[in-house]
Amino acid sequence: MARTGTPSALNKYSGIIFAVTLFLVFNLAVLALNFYTSSTLNNDAVSINLAGRQRMLSQRTTKVLLSIQVDAAQGQYNDKNTAELKKVASLFDTTLNGFKTGGTVVGGDEKPVGLEKVNDAIAVQSVDEALRIWQPYKKLLEPVINSKVIDETSLDAATFYARENNLKLLKLMNDLTSQLEKNTKAKAGNLQLIQTIALVLSLLLFANIVFNALRKLRAADGEIEKAQRETTEILNTVKEGLFLLDPQLAVGSQFSSSISKILQHDISANIPFMPILEGLVSPEIYSSAKDYLDLLFGNKVKENLMRSLNPLTQVKVQAKSDVAPRYLSFQFNRVVEEKRVLHLLVTVQDVTEQVTQAEELMALKGQSSINLGLLSKLLQADVFQLRQFLNNVHTGLEAVNVILANADKRSANHEDLANQCFRIIHAIKGEASVIGLDAIETHAHQFEEHLVLLRKKSSWDAQEILSLPVMLSAMLEQISRIETIVNLIQSHHESANTVQQQPSVSTRVGNNLLRLTEQVSKNQNKNVQLKLNLALLDEMDTKTANQLQQIGIQLVRNGICHGIEPTAMRLTKGKSAQGEISISAQASPEGVIDFIVRDDGQGIVPSRIRAAMLTSGRYSNETVDQLSDKDIVNKLFEPGFSTANNTDKDAGRGVGMDLVQSLVNEIGGELKIDTKPDVFTQFTFRIAKHASPSINLNATEAFA
Amino acid sequence: MSDLSEKDIEIFIEAIGGYFKQITQEAASIGVAYLAKNAFPLNDFTGMIRVSADYDGALYFSAPSAMLRHLLTVMKETNQSEENLLDAVGEIANTISGNARKYFGENMVISIPEKIAGLASMLNEQSRRHAYVIIIKWKHYSASLIVDISRLR
């Protein structure tokens, strides 16, 4: 709806304002006309009055004149009569002249009064005729008035003239009066007509104003009604939940009808919002949402800065009536007036479908394609190392496949089969971890977990038998995707002539072990330094070097997880804060080669292993008691033995030492353990002399 | 291109298991399962069905003649000519395709089974990089089910 401000309000009401002004001006004009007419009528009344007096004066003049004559006949002279004659004749004369020319005359109350000259033709004619008769009359009267004695001659002449003309004069004055009265009546009639017309017009104007005002009001009401109806329609049809929150956190009077369904709660005006939210979300989210709303109602922080703080942007909810959890998205916008937050406009959407789809998509991406993280790892990694790794994985997975294909031909039981597969997969996992290929490490870890389940079963059903090649296939698919990328990277390097210098075997193995140490000690929250002396590896064939690397991987991992103590414990033992693991390949003058891995950790202590075996709950008291210290240490090399309480990627499967033993057997030689509680553990692998042909002093074998 | 799921492959195995159980009252079981590249463990008689639409590749059921003869005997069929042995392997392939049709619906278009005697084990038209080989055991015989199918969509 448009905002109603002052300028538009003026526009809107201009019609009415104009009509009212017109009404007032018109009424004032009528009033002025009234004043004017009534003053004219006043003047007319004076004229009529004086004309009437002229009638009387004409008769009085004649009467006084005749009285003087009667007196004279009797020889008498009354000066009173003469004085009266003078007075009435003078009054008649001045008034008659007044009618002719206009001017001040003596009024009925002996006071001067303004007399307007007559304009009407008939009246003018009457006045002119009267003057024509009066002028000689006046002259004849003058000697009579002025004589102090009886002047019969003058008197007779005047009387004679008076008798001749008295009636004419009376008639003329009568005519004048009638004409003036007639004129005035006509004027009054006009005034009445004007007043009537003015009244009618004024009523019409007023009616117009009222009609227009009512029409405008009705139109405005209609607009408001329409706007309200539209708002209601919007609120009834919109899918999102919309409502206003007041500073007391109560819901406003208007809200969308979908809100009750979205919140799974009946919503009515003024219902408190927080208890509804409390029923939907966890207490932690509830409390941070409360803080957030308080912050929004405070005016201090800018709204867009706070958006990222909204704990309800995507929140998991489960109302009592919800079968499964849903995801809702709440958005809050301030409604500000005069810099004060009046309300919050709340928009709620059910985003369960989007969230579920996004999750499915993520899962799908993880399954079927190379994710970006893996890709960046591949780009960073050394291509030779990757090739080496992929070759090893292929060899390993093919070995697993051979084990599966020959499963029923051998007399081996399922447990052995699982253990054999386990060692290979574990080695792949270790190597993947060393070069940082988390995706493969995770895949191998899942494969391991599956093998752990199968290892426990005495017989496998069709599904379990089938599950192994299916997992194998999935891993092969993953590897082949990585191979494709590695090929691309390599061909890119070749075309760009940026073929990397192939690092020496000792450098490669050293770097791998350093990376592993960094990663595992970070995972285990330990502080470990790795010291290397592996130059001798450069003189060995690739296979042996790889096998020794594999042994190194397992022993370094075990050293960090089980040997090196946490920093705090090392300090209480008076050791340096940083643990140390050293790996070296040394040749004696007699040509005997020792591969030594040593850590300055807590050592292998049979009593501690016994305790850990009991704590793990996998061994009974009896079993543990029956074992000698040597047996206990030998246990470390059994498949599935572990003292770690929790299984994670680094430790706990109990296959590391088993793998070391099987690698030692493959290369040929003997493994010796030296250990002192709280001081060190050293594994010395003395490579058998009969294995010496594997030493190649001019090793240049390429990784095919 | 992606892999068939474990459940998808089980459909084929169940079809074979169900067939033997129904015809001979003796269920067939799985010996081993592994992956094969190029060289398939094929026997004397092979029934093959090709798939298309959302899937690509073929499925083989390959049995030694001794196993099929034994099967015909159990079914009281005295005519054990090569033709009849081929029919037997074809019928099993038919059963598999029927079950697959029911399970995969119109997403998997399945051809009429082909019956082949003495198929060469080196196939140059393998669909998958690794095909699934499932060794099916019935009595003391071993037949192979080879699933060389990839999902396109």
Q: What is the CATH number of the domain that holds B32?
A: 3.40.1550.10
Residue A465 to residue B32, Cβ atoms within 8 A:
yes
- Asked if the Cβ–Cβ distance from B33 to A473 is below 8 Å, we say no
Candidates B13, B29, B33; nearest CB to A469: B33
Alpha-carbon distance of A242 to B116, in angstroms, equals 69
Asked if B3's CB is within 8 angstroms of A477's CB, the reply is yes
- Quote the tokens at residue A203: 């009523």
pLDDT at A643: 60
pLDDT by residue (tens digit) across A306-317?
777 788 988 888
pLDDT one-digit tens code per residue, B35-76: 988 778 888 999 999 998 888 889 999 999 999 999 999 988
pLDDT of residue A512: 85
pLDDT at residue number A3:
44
Token digits of residue A651: 């430790």
- A141 and A85 in contact (C-beta within 8 Å)? yes
pLDDT tens figures, A502-543: 778 888 889 888 888 988 888 888 899 999 999 888 888 888
Query: Is pLDDT at A692 greater than 80 in this prediction?
Result: no
Average pLDDT on A390-413 reads 83
Class of domain A241-364: alpha beta
Query: Among A368, A407, A466, whose Cβ lies nearest the Cβ of B134?
Result: A466
- Hey, of A369, A394, A461, A477, which one would you mutate to test binding to chain B, going by the most B CBs within 10 A of its CB? A477
Of A402, A468, A480, the CB nearest to B33: A468
Q: State yes or no: pLDDT of B129 exceeds 70.
A: yes
**Burial group, residue A97, by CB count within 10 angstroms (0-12, 13-18, 19+):** middle
> Is B100 strand, coil or helix?
helix
A and B: number of Cβ contacts within 8 A: 62
The bridge status of strand A103-106 relative to strand A326-337 is unpaired
Instruction: Give the Cα separation of A312 and A289 in Å (integer).
Output: 7
Which of B6, B10, B40, B137 is the mutation pick for testing A, counting most A CBs within 10 A? B6
pLDDT of residue A694: 40
Is the CB of A470 less than 8 angstroms away from the CB of B9? yes
Q: Which of B2, B4, B5, B34 to mutate to test the interface with A (most CBs of A within 10 A)?
A: B34
Looking at the predicted structure, is the pLDDT value of residue A364 above 60? no
Q: Would you give the distance in Å from CA A628 to the centre of its chain?
A: 72
Strand-pair category, A593-599 with A528-533: unpaired
How many structural domains comprise chain B?
A: 1
Q: Give the Å distances, CA to CA, from A161 to A135, A142, A146, A283, B73.
A: 12, 13, 18, 132, 182
With b for 16 or more beta-carbon neighbours within 10 A and e for fewer, the A167-181 pattern comes to: eebbebbbbbbebbb
> Inter-chain contact B33–A406, Cβ cutoff 8 Å?
no
Among A50-64, A146-160, B67-81, the range scoring the smallest mean pLDDT is: A146-160
Could you read off the pLDDT of A571-602 as tens digits, one per residue? 888 899 899 999 999 888 877 889 999 999 98
- B11 contacts on A by Cβ (under 8 Å): none
Report CB contact under 8 Å: A404, B32.
yes
- B32·A463 Cβ contact <8 A: no
B15 assigned to some structural domain: yes
Instruction: Please tell us whether the domain made up of A369-502 is placed in CATH 1.10.10.10.
Output: no
Q: Do B35 and A466 touch (CB under 8 A)?
A: no
- Residue in B closest to A462 by C-alpha: B30
- How many other CB atoms are there within 10 angstroms of residue A204's CB atom? 11
Q: Which of A368, A417, A465, A467 to mutate to test the interface with B (most CBs of B within 10 A)?
A: A465
Can you say whether the dihedral through the CA atoms of A624, A630, A634, A636 is positive or negative? positive
**Least confident range of A110-114, A322-326, A551-555:** A322-326
Residue appearing with tokens 């004048």:
A176
- Is residue A683 within 8 Å of A597, Cβ to Cβ? yes
Is B135 contained in some domain?
yes
| Domain range A503-704, CATH class | alpha beta
Facing A466 at nearest CB: one of B2, B10, B17: B10
Rg, C-alpha atoms of chain B: 15
Closest CA to A595 of A560, A542, A544, A559: A544
Among the partner-chain residues B5, B30, B129, the one whose CB lies closest to the CB of A465 is: B30
Q: How confident is the model at residue A634 (pLDDT cuts 50, 70, 90)?
A: confident
CA-based nearest distance B80→chain A, Å: 30
Please list the residues that pair with A583 across neighbouring strands.
A532, A597
Architecture of domain A10-212: Up-down Bundle (1.20)
Residue A143: Cβ within 10 Å count: 14
Q: Do B29 and A473 touch (CB under 8 A)?
A: no
In whole angstroms, give the CA distance from residue A64 to residue A628: 180
pLDDT of residue B66: 93
pLDDT at A548 over 60: yes
Burial of A7 (0-12, 13-18, 19+ CB in 10 A): exposed
Residue A15 pLDDT class (50, 70, 90 cuts): confident
CB contacts of B135 in chain A (<8 Å) are 408
- Residue A5, pLDDT > 50, answer no
Asked if A466 lies within 8 A of B6 by C-beta distance, the reply is: yes
Residues of A in contact with B13 (CB under 8 A): 462, 466
Contact B51, B109 (CB under 8 A): yes
Residues of each domain in chain A carrying CATH 1.20.120.160: 369-502
The per-residue DSSP string of A635-660 comes to: HTTSTT----SS--SSS-SS-HHHHH
CA distance A691 to A593: 10
Measured CA to CA, the distance from residue A263 to residue A241 in angstroms comes to 8
Higher confidence at residue A70 or residue A362? A70
Structure tokens at A399: 């070995």
Binary contact (B35, A477; C-beta < 8 A): no
Q: Which domain holds residue B81?
A: 6-151
| Residues A25-39, mean pLDDT to the nearest whole number | 85
Would the pLDDT of A262 be above 50? Answer: yes
Share the mean pLDDT of chain A.
Answer: 83
Interface of B with A (CB under 8 A): 2-3, 5-6, 9-10, 13, 17, 29-35, 129-130, 132-135
State which residue of chain B sits closest to A405, comparing Cα positions. B34
- Confidence at residue A4, expressed as pLDDT on a 0 to 100 scale: 43
B contacts of A466 (beta carbons < 8 Å): 6, 9-10, 13, 30, 33, 132, 134
Query: What's the whole-number mean pLDDT along residues A214-236?
Result: 88
Question: Residue A478's closest chain B neighbor by CA?
Answer: B2
- Put simply, the answer to whether A462 touches B5 (Cβ < 8 Å) is no
Question: What ipTM score was computed for the predicted complex, to two decimals?
Answer: 0.91
CA distance A469 to chain B (A): 5
B24 occurs within a structural domain? yes
Residue B1 lies in a domain: no
- Chain B residue closest in CA terms to A410: B32
The Cα-based distances of A35 to A29, A43, A118, A191, A336 in angstroms read 10, 13, 21, 11, 59
Could you tell me which residues come within 8 angstroms of residue B145 by beta carbon, excluding any fewer than 6 positions away? B12, B13, B16, B59, B60, B61, B133, B134, B135, B136
In a domain, B132, yes or no: yes
Q: Are B106 and B119 in contact (CB under 8 A)?
A: no
What pLDDT shows up at residue A646? 54
Looking at residue A655, its pLDDT comes to 58
- Are the beta carbons of B35 and A476 separated by less than 8 Å? yes
pLDDT confidence of A695, banded at 50, 70, 90? very low
What are A138's two structure tokens?
A: 């006046």
| pLDDT score of A363 | 56
